Structure 1
Amino acid sequence: MTAQVREAADRNRFTAETERFRRELLAHCYRMVGSAQDAEDLVQETYLRAWRSYAGFEGRASIRSWLYKIATNVCLTAAQPRPIRVLPSGLAGPHDGPDSRPSEAAPGEVSWLEPFPDTWITPSTDDPATTAVARESLRLALIASLQHLPARQRAILILREVLAFSAPETAKILGTTTAAVKSGLQRARARLDELEPQPGELLEPTDKRARALLDGYITAFEHSDASLLEKVLRTDATLEATPFRSWYAGRLNCLNLLATHVLGTPGDWRMIATEANGQPAAAVYHRNDGKLQAHGIVVLTPTATGVTRVTEFHNPALVVLFGFPNVLTN
């Protein structure tokens, strides 16, 4: 067997053994760094490192835990020189000034959290319970809170409570002791309890009530009708949008901002329903020079009593990342 044939056989075996974990590794890296685009790059680096060391992998651990060890350490290395990614609500309290116009952050001033396309990690199983767990672990509020944890605590909490690795397995992945893992998990839980908001029971994006709320939100924008939005938002709803530092609490404040500075005239906006972070979402287009051009992604947090949070990401590149065109033709 020639060296080339042997390498090709090794490559095929490597692909067969590792490729099935790519989607869950994407979700893992996203939980660690809060950026779908960065997660793609980090998973690519994970597979490059795994291939380079594959010849020395002798099955002392499962392929899955071996890949998670590489991916977690890739993420920890990447996190060291970078500021954490946040949402506007992670910077300060809600806007309470006389002018409702939001203040935009200077370029590079803040590193913003990004949404994650559900299509990237849709489980191959038809088990509703498995699907619900996958969605719950990617909720925007949870991802935003995770970013405020020290990177190693973040990794411990994700490995233990999301991925269900044991304390000894987690210690091996992180190159530390079981005692350190248990202590880190305790501190991470306590901090997360302080950070993560409790909006009540959230609706799954496949729930008819959640889809009705998303449809109502889309219709309100496409018709530039604030009164329709009033029917969708809860009285305690919040609204935030990157790259604006200001965010708004209370339905009246949200409606005032949208009606005054955002909605415009009918036909200015077009939205296409999708799912992000296990929540109903939409790709947003805004009319500019007569064309409907990509504007960003909006993610809703739906409950049985209405939408409790609207989070919009004003970044046209995200629309393409979610698999939609940059410009709509009609």
Structure 2
Amino acid sequence: MVEELTDFATSAEAHRRELRVHCYRLLGSYDEAEDLVQETLLRAWRGRETFDGRASLRAWLYRIATNACLDHLAAHPREVPVLDLPASASPDLAPRPDVAVPWVQPVPDEVLGRETVELAFLAAIQHLSPRRRAALVLRDVLGWSARETAAALETTPASVNSAVLRGRAELKEHLPARRGDWAAAGSDEERAVVARYMAALAAHDEAELAALLRADVRCSHAPGAGGHTGTEPTWYAGRDLVREAWAPALRGDDAVTFHLVPTRANGLPAFATSIRVDGALHPFGLNTLRIAGGRVAEVTTFSAEVFPLFGLG
């Protein structure tokens, strides 16, 4: 008996990483996903006698995880705020910056493993209702059938198909129209642009930075990024406006000394930025870069609160 219980616990624990990614897709927040995958494993342990083996243990755990997330969202309802942020005019970029969804958190690529969770997709899917979101993820990401999805959500295949069709249409409104134009993750083009960008920023080379930015580049800052404590993200676009906004940090006696640590987040090149003040480093934020057409198309700065997820102080 003890051996059977140990085997069950070991088998369930083996799925922790992929369940965490699943919860992350549904919730947008990695911190919440950590809590919900733990809740999933607890529910599985308590209900282990109900597992009859007709479905795989993996499918059974995904069903529990999905409903744990739905229960959490029902108990803690939230809506994407309506912000006075202009939509991007570029079909390469999402209509709204990722930080327009305040609870979205980037995570290191190694946490995701072989899974792909684009920030643009993660932010876009948060606009869907929880059940529509769950149906879409189960059908389109995990590849479950309508019948399997209906069983997990305790509804009918017809209802699932309707939810998925509506979810796809709604998702299309929030995703970039030309995601295929983004540089391939980890490509030589991407690495070269990122290396030049980080070197130019560290050297305060405004001419090089300008050469690396697309004319329609977009910059956005999550609440709390760079020490700004406002309740809404900030957003600005266009190479000239970006150069004007960055100039005080790059010129003269007040120029900022940057300390940059390269990393990757959600399949994007990223770097943690700290600034040196009075001889001490102060966390500024985590920057992700979107590369398109050999230039930087988007710079997104998330709060330094995510630094611990990346093993940074």
TM over 0.5: yes
In structure 2, which of residues 69, 72, 77 is the aligned counterpart of residue 82 of structure 1? Answer: 77
1:18 aligns with 2:12: yes
Q: Structure 1 residues 203 and 10 mapped into 2: Cα distance closer, same or farther (>3 Å)?
A: farther
Q: Which amino acid aligns with 1:35?
A: S
In structure 1, which of residues 225, 235, 238 is the aligned counterpart of residue 215 of structure 2? Answer: 235
Superposition deviation, residue 56 in structure 1? 2.4
1:286 aligns with 2:265: no
Superposition deviation, residue 286 in structure 1? 1.9
Equivalenced residue count is: 289
Corresponding residue of 2:291: 302
1:249 aligns with 2:237: yes
1:197 aligns with 2:176: yes
Return the alpha-carbon distance in structure 2 between the equivalents of residues 212 and 11 of structure 1.
52
Return the alpha-carbon distance in structure 1 between the equivalents of residues 34 and 171 of structure 2.
26
Q: Secondary structure at the match of 2:14?
A: helix
Q: Structure 1 residues 14 and 285 mapped into 2: Cα distance closer, same or farther (>3 Å)?
A: farther
In structure 2, which of residues 149, 168, 188 is the aligned counterpart of residue 170 of structure 1? Answer: 149
Corresponding residue of 2:29: 35
Q: Which amino acid aligns with 1:64?
A: R
Return the alpha-carbon distance in structure 2 between the equivalents of residues 210 and 29 of structure 1.
29
1:73 aligns with 2:67: yes
Superposition deviation, residue 313 in structure 1? 0.4
Q: Which amino acid aligns with 1:247?
A: W
Return the alpha-carbon distance in structure 2 between the equivalents of residues 82 and 290 of structure 1.
44
Q: Structure 1 residues 278 and 85 mapped into 2: Cα distance closer, same or farther (>3 Å)?
A: farther
Write the deviation string for residues 240-264 of structure 1: whole angstroms up to 9, x where unpaired. 011153201222222221223x446
Q: Structure 1 residues 85 and 282 mapped into 2: Cα distance closer, same or farther (>3 Å)?
A: farther
Q: Secondary structure at the match of 2:177?
A: coil
Return the alpha-carbon distance in structure 2 between the equivalents of residues 83 and 263 of structure 1.
39
Return the alpha-carbon distance in structure 2 between the equivalents of residues 278 and 250 of structure 1.
24
Q: What fraction of aligned residue pairs are identical, expressed as a percent?
A: 40
Return the alpha-carbon distance in structure 2 between the equivalents of residues 273 and 177 of structure 1.
47
Structure 2 residue ranges without an equivalent (≥5)? 88-100, 224-231
In structure 2, which of residues 181, 193, 196 is the aligned counterpart of residue 213 of structure 1? Answer: 193
Q: Which of 11-20 and 35-44 deviates more?
A: 11-20
Superposition deviation, residue 43 in structure 1? 1.0
Residues 250, 256 of structure 2: 8 Å contact kept: no
Return the alpha-carbon distance in structure 2 between the equivalents of residues 84 and 11 of structure 1.
41
Corresponding residue of 1:104: none
Q: Secondary structure at the match of 2:107?
A: coil
Residues 270, 288 of structure 2: 8 Å contact kept: yes
Residues 222, 234 of structure 2: 8 Å contact kept: no
Return the alpha-carbon distance in structure 1 between the equivalents of residues 206 and 132 of structure 2.
43
Q: Structure 1 residues 205 and 47 mapped into 2: Cα distance closer, same or farther (>3 Å)?
A: same
Return the alpha-carbon distance in structure 1 between the equivalents of residues 112 and 5 of structure 2.
24
Corresponding residue of 2:266: 277
Superposition deviation, residue 19 in structure 1? 2.7
Q: Which of 267-276 and 185-194 deviates more?
A: 267-276
RMSD: 2.3
In structure 2, which of residues 292, 308, 311 is the aligned counterpart of residue 320 of structure 1? Answer: 308
Residues 189, 294 of structure 2: 8 Å contact kept: no
Residues 12, 57 of structure 2: 8 Å contact kept: yes
Superposition deviation, residue 307 in structure 1? 1.8
Corresponding residue of 1:117: 108
Return the alpha-carbon distance in structure 2 between the equivalents of residues 222 and 59 of structure 1.
57
Q: Which of 227-236 and 186-195 deviates more?
A: 227-236
Q: How does 1:37-76 map to 2 (within 5 A)?
A: 37-76=31-70
Superposition deviation, residue 318 in structure 1? 1.0
Write the deviation string for residues 144-176 of structure 1: whole angstroms up to 9, x where unpaired. 111111111111111111111111111111111
Structure 1 residue ranges without an equivalent (≥5)? 1-5, 96-109, 124-133
Residues 32, 75 of structure 1: 8 Å contact kept: yes
Write the deviation string for residues 168-226 of structure 1: whole angstroms up to 9, x where unpaired. 11111111110000000010011111111234422233111111222222223222333
Corresponding residue of 2:86: 94
Q: Which amino acid aligns with 1:241?
A: H
In structure 2, which of residues 247, 257, 263 is the aligned counterpart of residue 259 of structure 1? Answer: 247
Return the alpha-carbon distance in structure 2 between the equivalents of residues 270 and 17 of structure 1.
43
Return the alpha-carbon distance in structure 1 between the equivalents of residues 69 and 196 of structure 2.
39
